[in-house]
Structure 1
């Protein structure tokens, strides 16, 4: 019986961990770029059809019968047979990942433009998903005014609004006292911004508690979601509100630079135009800082570019930061202790990408994985160790 394929629009560390274990049966990993709109959407079902054809050949080569291969691939076949005008293809993001095995079928529609790739092994190919989850230029944007709160998730290619049942509709939501409602809508700004009686230097003291409660209500609705996604958070709103947001959301990775203004009537595209330069600067700084740290460690035993050393260290929980390039791969195998038994082997059902293994094991020990540009690192992989053995 054909499995129902599960749809996801995000990937978190817990889900990645569930997908990372080796399977007794073969796994299929399909990655491909997709298009949000335009005539290029017509090519996406064709691209998936080609990927399914490639996957079938690899499955048969690995020993499955054609009928068993067809059964395993059926959830993907169902999607490729949909017309390009179908809602599924008309509501794509920038990348599509499909993971299939005897026990599960899932797809991810994400804001990362994947390279076309098909892999068949006893493990899923996860490095592209890892890039989307951990290091890419994905971010959240929270637009707050006294009249509205909107939350978006996206990347440089686009923003998509997220909806939450308990998100306040505005500062005076649920207030039946007309005068109190008027006060909340019209919190006043002092001419003397340095007045020490105003905690953040801008808002009248009598409005202070109402504003704090407003942001506590926002945090109650979305705080756990933002923390779980582990993506930078950009605040969009008037300058006076930003300190309250930062104070309440101190457990989330809120960027120090905000997008200032009132965006109640702004489209997602308008917000992206304003927010993306802020996120890009942050991502560039994060990558550069990681590369600089490795530069300092590389001349000592605290850093290495040797794959076997890095995999072993990742299994032992020693990797503080792992640096990877986007497209590089190194196939092979390793044992349960992290000893690399083969490397530089061609991709097959019996091998897997050792960079995947190093990354998963690094995250499992609360390390960081940073994807760097090709010109920032000579080696395809590098690691900074927590301690020397």
Structure 2
């Protein structure tokens, strides 16, 4: 997700724009519930269109027709290979589908533009990552996010060291002994009389044979790659790997018999600091700017600054919409619950900030830099701002 991608959604001209978000089941019998959930959301779309003053019978027909066609299109990849979240953006003349790497709250919005706030967490890492679990007996590749981990089977990725080196009698022609590290045991292989140098050369060749198909599979992606294996393998893998997003920390151990859930939990501990690093820096920069009178936590000031292009960085609290509207004098009036003319004011601030070239971070509740507010902003220049404490 990029600001440019969000901008392209904002540029879709229509008086009626439907935004639909839903989480998805990815495997097992529960996958069937994806279609049921979508049908229920389709009913919500119909009800909202009937209430929308800008909607016409032609509008209803165009939007609902596209959504029904999407539902019954068995060739749609999102039905065959569901991701953690699904986002649809529909006008009478267009439909755009986004598969997201994280679960999304079920919701439908109808308005003059698309409701984009649920996409914002993906601007700075959507939590997607890749795990390569390697021993000399097994090579396993997984794709994961905060919610789940799923095994993948890229073409040409070798299953083990023997397959990678293409030596049929490899196991029987060399001596081997057990190499123990902690409570984990892996097998190290040595050629006749070659010692540790030959062993490392074999492992290095093994990892080069892994790197080529892995690089092809990950081409164009920026997901962090986590290595999982016994500790002596990781330095050799780093020497062979050409993937730029390989994390410096690995998961140590032999995971040939580990469950996916176990590997997932260990991967999250390694990858979460990586995803959090940018946000942590943005929070620190906000605190620094606050001390120089170049920051604000006043919502009305934030909205004004966003329209002026004065926001460098906007931080908004995760899963905390602020529904409201502007009165006749342009002042913010918060609504207790969404009404006919309500807007998510944080969505408005975020969209304006991105349109003017600013940056937006969605911050977890526990890490948010203000206890009393759900939005704070680092400003490009000092303005007459109401900065409450």
* TM-score greater than 0.5 by the shorter chain: yes
What is the alpha-carbon distance in structure 1 between the residues aligned to residue 178 and residue 380 of structure 2? 50
Match of 2:288 in 1: 296
Query: C-alpha distance in 2, partners of 1:383/1:223?
Result: 39
* Structure 1 position 70 matched with structure 2 position 56: no
The residue aligned with 2:226 is: 234
Structure 2: stretches of 5+ with no match in the other structure: 182-194, 384-389
Specify the alignment match of 2:187 in structure 1. Answer: none
**Deviation string, structure 1 residues 232-285 (Cα, Å, up to 9, x no partner):** 332211212222344555764443432112223434233213323333455566
2:116 to 112, 126, 139: 126
Unmatched segments (≥5 aa) in structure 1: 1-11, 192-202, 334-340
Is 1:56 aligned to 2:51, yes or no? no
In structure 2, what is the equivalent of residue 336 of structure 1? none
Match 1:24 to one of 13, 29, 32: 13
**SS of residue in 2 equivalent to 1:204:** helix
- Please say if residues 6 and 116 of structure 2, whose CA atoms lie closer than 8 Å, have aligned partners that are also in contact: no
Q: Deviations over 1:91-146 (max 9, x none)?
A: 64543322223454343444423222212245433332231463444322222233
Three-state SS of the structure 2 residue aligned to 1:243 is helix
Give deviations 1:271-312, integer Å, cap 9, x for gaps.
213323333455566654543342233212554444246535
State how far apart, in whole Å, the 1-side matches of 2:2 and 2:175 are. 40
Alignment counterpart, residue 249 of structure 2, candidates 253, 257, 267: 257
Give 3-state SS (helix, strand or coil) of 1:115's partner. coil
Whether the aligned pair in 2 keeps the contact of 1:93 and 1:111 (CA below 8 Å) is yes
SS at match of 1:99: strand
* Aligned residues: CA RMSD: 4.7
Residues of 2 paired with 1:155 and 1:258: CA distance? 17
CA gap of 1:62–1:222, structure 2 versus 1, over 3 A, is: farther
Please say if residues 129 and 145 of structure 2, whose CA atoms lie closer than 8 Å, have aligned partners that are also in contact.
yes
Question: CA, structure 1 residues 161+308, in 2 after alignment: closer, same or farther (shift >3 Å)?
Answer: same
Q: Comparing 27-36 with 321-330, which one deviates more in the overlay?
A: 321-330
| CA contact 1:121–1:350 (8 Å) conserved in 2 | no
Query: Mean alpha-carbon deviation: is it higher for 223-232 or for 298-307?
Result: 223-232
Q: TM-score, normalised by structure 2?
A: 0.68
- Equivalence for 1:9: none
Query: Are the structure 2 counterparts of residues 368 and 129 from structure 1 closer, same or farther at C-alpha, using a change threshold of 3 Å?
Result: closer
Q: What's the counterpart of residue 374 of structure 2?
A: 380
Deviation at 1:342, TM superposition (A): 8.8
Question: Cα gap change, 1:343/1:81 in structure 2, threshold over 3 Å: closer, same or farther?
Answer: farther
C-alpha distance after superposition, 1:175-194 (max 9, x if no partner): 45567787999699799xxx
Task: Mark the CA change 1:58 to 1:187 in structure 2 (over 3 Å): closer, same or farther.
Answer: farther
Question: Aligned runs of 1:104-183 on 2, under 5 Å?
Answer: 104-132=94-122, 134-173=124-163, 175-177=165-167
- Tell me the CA shift for residue 22 of structure 1: 1.6
User: Cα deviations across residues 54-77 of structure 1 (Å, max 9, x unaligned)?
Assistant: 323444524232343133223433
Q: 1:386: Cα distance to partner?
A: 7.3
Aligned in 2, Cα 1:34/1:256: closer, same or farther, shift over 3 Å?
A: same
Q: How far apart, in 1, do the equivalents of 2:142 and 2:254 lie?
A: 16
